[in-house]
Amino acid sequence: MVIPIGAVSGVSPTTYLSGTQGTQGTAGAGTDFGSTLAGAVDNLQQLQSTSDSLAVKAVTGDLNDIHQATIAATRAQVTMEVVATVRNKGIEAFNEIMRMQA
Give pLDDT tens digits along the chain (102 positions).
545 555 445 544 444 433 444 444 444 555 687 888 888 889 999 999 999 999 999 999 998 989 999 999 999 999 999 999 998 999 999 999 999 976
First-to-final CA distance of the chain: 63
Rounded Cα gap, residues 89 and 52, in angstroms = 28
Whether residue 4 contacts residue 69, with contact meaning beta carbons closer than 8 Å, is answered with no
**pLDDT value of residue 29:** 52
Domain assignment of residue 3, yes or no: no
Domain assignment of residue 16, yes or no: no
| CA distances for 92 relative to 17, 46, 95, angstroms | 22, 27, 5
**pLDDT value of residue 22:** 44
Domain assignment of residue 19, yes or no: no
**pLDDT value of residue 56:** 94
Domain assignment of residue 12, yes or no: no
Number of domains, the chain: 1
**pLDDT value of residue 16:** 40
DSSP state of 63: -
Q: Cα 8–53–1 angle (5° rounding)?
A: 65
Rounded Cα gap, residues 81 and 87, in angstroms = 10
**pLDDT value of residue 17:** 39
Closest by CA position to 11, among listed 102, 101, 78, 86: 78
**pLDDT value of residue 3:** 53
Give the residue numbers spanning the domain of 40. 31-99
